[in-house]
Amino acid sequence: MTEPWWIAIIEALVIVNLVMVAFAYLTWLERKALGRMQLRYGPNRAGPFGLLQPIADLIKLVRKEAFSPSHAIEPVYIIAPIVSMFTALAAFSVIPFGPGWKIDHWHVNGAVANVSIGLVLIFALGSLGIYGFIIGGWASESKFSILGTMRTCAQLVSYEVSLALSVLGVVILGRSLNLSDIVHRQGEFLPFAAPQFVGMVVFFLAGLAETSRVPFDLPEAEQELVAGYHTEYSGMRWGLFQTSEYINLITLSGLMVTLFFAGWHGPWHLGPLWFVLKLLVLLLVFIWVRATVPRLRYDQLMRFGWKVLLPVATINAVVTALCVVAF
Amino acid sequence: MPQPITTLKGFGVTFKQIFKKPLTQQYPEYRRPIYPRFRGRHRLHLHENGLEKCVGCSLCAAACPADCIRVVPAENTADNRVSPGERYARIYEINMSRCIFCGYCELACPFDAITLGNEFEISEYNRDDQIYTKDMLLAEPIKKVPVADRTLYDTPIPFYESNS
């Protein structure tokens, strides 16, 4: 069943704004949780429990001068953060958050775009998002930005291989590339985290690297470098890069919930609430990892990606395929 | 070599911290008592009879490594007696934005007229407001800074407090 186009537009508008709010409060949650794990309070000045901190940050970023280097290639330099922001937001559109509803004889989908190749679309948009980082660092005309770009791209490209391969087992078991179908199948069967445990671990680790979160946060390495590809960005342009990174994290967590933890399925038919709950727990795990694990060295990062994750993901996919064929 | 077991133990360590009370001191609400010999902003002192201890000798200005003290002396006269000595400081200014709070002025002063007090919150919106005049240095400080009990520390009592 299809929904009328205007419902899709309203749904897209609501979801985009919800994702932005989720991003804002993810930064708050991260700073708060990280603070408590390091015996600090985290933000607690702006509003009760520092709840207005993301809004204060936004106002500060928007009002800040958007400085650009004198040699920067101006149009590309400005487009780069927009590209990465756009791809980050667009990727979330295929993630299903509910079973779909019937409101007054109109059908409302459980995802903004119920695409039959949703999984491929997410990976395609993720690869496009890397262009934002490439052209952003390149157009800054600064050697540090270019070095940061190279670090970022080398990492993202090499971990994308393992990320895509780790999902293959789920696709074989789910017999579909449509994320809603995969969720439905997990509802009938059981969450794919159980039969695809290895795939889940590989997906989680590759996802950490893909969103440049802490053990793999070499693109930023805030204690060692000024920044990576966004060294020459300031104000809201920098904010867009940061936003896209966090939204990528939300999308990836959403994808992991969808693929391995049965999405919105759960006891008592809570629907989207289950999705949000699982997403929240997963994001807290990401924050927990950040509080615990030290950063890898660059050669360790490459070795781990190519020599550990990639073979494990490949073997997992092959073994899953063999099992499905055999039984 | 990767050590997965110890890494997982580390996750337990970070998780345990959530339930502990944070160590952060919430500064503007809670002011930690400062060390008794803390060197904060300067004070100029008076004798018990109301005369200024400073005689305008400019030794503090000479000792100052940051060159932030300006003293312009004037002669004491019979009808305008400010200090017990021959001269007094007509202008006594300290530029707080240059001062490094080393305490050499305190050491150089032969009459213990200048000492370093306890206040450290001396930020201003304007650079000119950082220049403290003689009236400001003579007056009691407006902001009260909590000072730790001297008996808690093994620290000698300064000469100007025991003999004055």
**Quick one: which of A260, A294, A293 has its CA closest to A279?**
A260
> What share of chain B in percent tops pLDDT 70?
95
Reading the block at residue A313, the tokens are 């993901």
Q: Minimal CA–CA distance to A111: which of A243, A240, A247, A251? A: A251
Structure tokens at B7: 């890494």
**How many Cβ atoms sit within 10 Å of the Cβ of residue A165?**
23
Q: How many CB atoms lie within 10 A of CB B42?
A: 24
In this prediction the ipTM stands at 0.75
Question: What is the side-by-side strand order in the sheet with B87-95?
Answer: B69-75, B87-95, B131-132
* Chain A residues touching B21 at Cβ < 8 A: 39
Secondary structure, 3-state, B78-105 = CCCCCCCCCEEEEEEEEECCCCCCCCHH
Terminal-to-terminal C-alpha distance of chain B: 69
How many Cβ pairs within 8 Å bridge chains A and B?
A: 34
Note the pLDDT of residue A111.
80
Cα pseudo-dihedral A66, A75, A91, A131, rounded to 10: -110
Classified as helix, coil or strand, A310 is helix
A44: closest CA of chain B, how far (Å): 10
Query: How far A284 CA sits from the closest chain B CA (Å)?
Result: 11
CA nearest to B11 within chain A: A292
Distance CA B39, CA A224 (A): 34
Which of A29, A31, A32, A37 to mutate to probe the B interface, most B CBs <10 Å? A37
User: Does the distance separating the beta carbons of A40 and B17 come in below 8 Å?
Assistant: no
B64-107 pLDDT per residue, tens: 999 999 999 999 988 888 888 889 999 999 999 999 999 999 99
Q: Are strands A106-108 and B131-132 parallel, antiparallel or unpaired?
A: unpaired
Q: Which pTM was predicted? A: 0.83
Q: Which two tokens stand for residue A15?
A: 């979801």
Judged against a pLDDT cut of 70, whether residue B164 lies above it is answered with: no
Q: What are the C-alpha distances in Å from A48 to residues A28, A78, A164, A227?
A: 12, 36, 42, 31
Dihedral sign of CA atoms A242, A245, A248, A253 in order: negative
**Residues A241/A84, Cβ–Cβ less than 8 Å:** yes
First to last CA, chain A: 33
The predicted structure's pLDDT at residue B67? 92
For B7, name the nearest residue in chain A, comparing CA atoms only. Answer: A293
pLDDT of residue A2: 66
- CA-to-CA distance for B34 and B146, rounded, in angstroms? 6
Q: Are strands B87-95 and B131-132 parallel, antiparallel or unpaired?
A: antiparallel
pLDDT, position A58: 92
User: Are B18 and A37 an interchain contact pair (Cβ–Cβ within 8 Å)?
Assistant: yes
**What CA–CA distance (Å, rounded) separates A15 from A95?**
11
- Where is A249: in which H helix or E strand? helix A235-260
Residue A59 corresponds to which amino acid? I
Quick check: A267 and A190 in contact, CB under 8 A? no
- Measure in Å the smallest separation between the Cα of B95 and chain A Cα atoms: 32
Q: Is residue B155 scored above 80 in pLDDT?
A: no
Query: What is the token pair recorded at B115?
Result: 């000492």
The pLDDT assigned to A115 comes to: 83
> With contact defined as beta carbons under 8 Å apart, do A43 and A28 qualify?
yes
Tens-digit pLDDT string for chain A (327 aa) = 567 788 888 888 998 999 999 999 999 999 999 999 999 998 988 888 889 999 999 999 999 988 888 888 888 999 999 999 999 999 988 888 888 777 777 777 778 888 888 889 999 998 888 888 889 888 888 888 888 888 888 888 889 899 999 999 889 888 888 888 888 888 877 888 888 899 999 999 999 998 888 888 888 877 777 778 888 888 889 999 899 999 999 999 999 998 998 888 877 777 788 889 999 999 999 999 999 988 888 888 899 889 999 999 999 999 999 998 887
Separation between Cα atoms, residue B71 and residue B82, nearest integer Å? 15
Contact (CB, 8 A) for A129 and A87: yes
Which pLDDT belongs to residue A176? 86
Contact call for residues A140 and A41 (beta carbons, < 8 A):
no
Using alpha carbons only, how large is chain A's radius of gyration in Å?
20
The predicted pLDDT at position B108 comes to 92
Task: Check CB contact under 8 Å for A288 and B14.
Answer: yes
Query: How many Å separate Cα A70 from the centre of its chain?
Result: 33
pLDDT tens column, B39-58 = 988 999 999 888 999 999 99
